[in-house]
Amino acid sequence: MEQFSNALAVIGVYFALMAVLAVMVEAIIGWLKIPSWSPLQGKPSPNDVLGEVAGWLPKGEGEVMRGRVKALNKALKEIGQTELPLEKMPTVDELVETIGEATTKHIKKERSRRAVIRLVAILLGMGFAALFQIDTLQLLAPVFEPAKGLGLNTLDPIWAQVVGLVLSGFAASAGSSFWHDQSARLRGLKAASEAVGEMVAGR
């Protein structure tokens, strides 16, 4: 039981370190999203723009349609799509088709943006892990002995450290909320193990 408690303590320290790393990574990414020119900054989807201006549109049916086209053009411009002409009002089918195409393009750009954010988060996590020497393999070795279990004991110590720092970078990119959730689960597991220990001791 004592060995299990020690293992939980080691994992708890690891989770706490990863949460701190994740907070640092998120803070820098949040700062990088601020400039309007930043590729990390999110763009409104066509549907979002239409929904935001719906309550502000003029009451006349023709003006409402024109207002919606203007709103749609705003979203299309954000994602680099060709704008709809205002001289001739598009048909409903044309609007639906255009919104569909624009939304598809927006979704693809959002996926690319999120992939870039994840890559930046991993690189920042690896950088902070190297700066503070937070090596996942070294930290968890007393519990899981990953170097033996994965055959990493054959690696040169420098390469083993590189692998540990890379793993720390990936772990930090999971986000602080993820590590807070894992810490909460770990506390629940610790409380359960203590309760079992007390029951066994009571016998």
Q: What is the DSSP string of 80-97?
A: TPPPPPSSSPPPHHHHHH
Q: What is the pLDDT of residue 171?
A: 93
Mean per-residue pLDDT for 138-167? 74
Same domain, 96 and 150: no
Same domain, 143 and 173: yes
Same domain, 198 and 179: yes
The residue from 72, 95, 112 where one domain ends is 112
Same domain, 98 and 123: no
Same domain, 167 and 73: no
More confident call, 151 vs 22 = 22
More confident call, 187 vs 77 = 187
CB proximity list for 35: less than 8 A, separation 6 or greater: 41
Same domain, 181 and 164: yes
Does residue 165 contact residue 128 with C-beta atoms inside 8 Å? Answer: no
Same domain, 187 and 145: yes
pTM given for the model: 0.70
Same domain, 188 and 135: yes
Domain that holds residue 176: 2-37+115-202
More confident call, 102 vs 146 = 102
Same domain, 197 and 120: yes
Per-chain mean pLDDT for the chain: 79
Same domain, 31 and 123: yes
Q: How many domains does the chain have?
A: 2
Q: What is the pLDDT of residue 68?
A: 72
Same domain, 108 and 119: no
Q: What is the pLDDT of residue 61?
A: 61
The residue from 86, 112, 138 where one domain ends is 112
Q: Residue 179, by phi and psi: left (phi above 0), alpha (psi -120 to 50) or beta?
A: alpha
The residue from 95, 112, 129 where one domain ends is 112
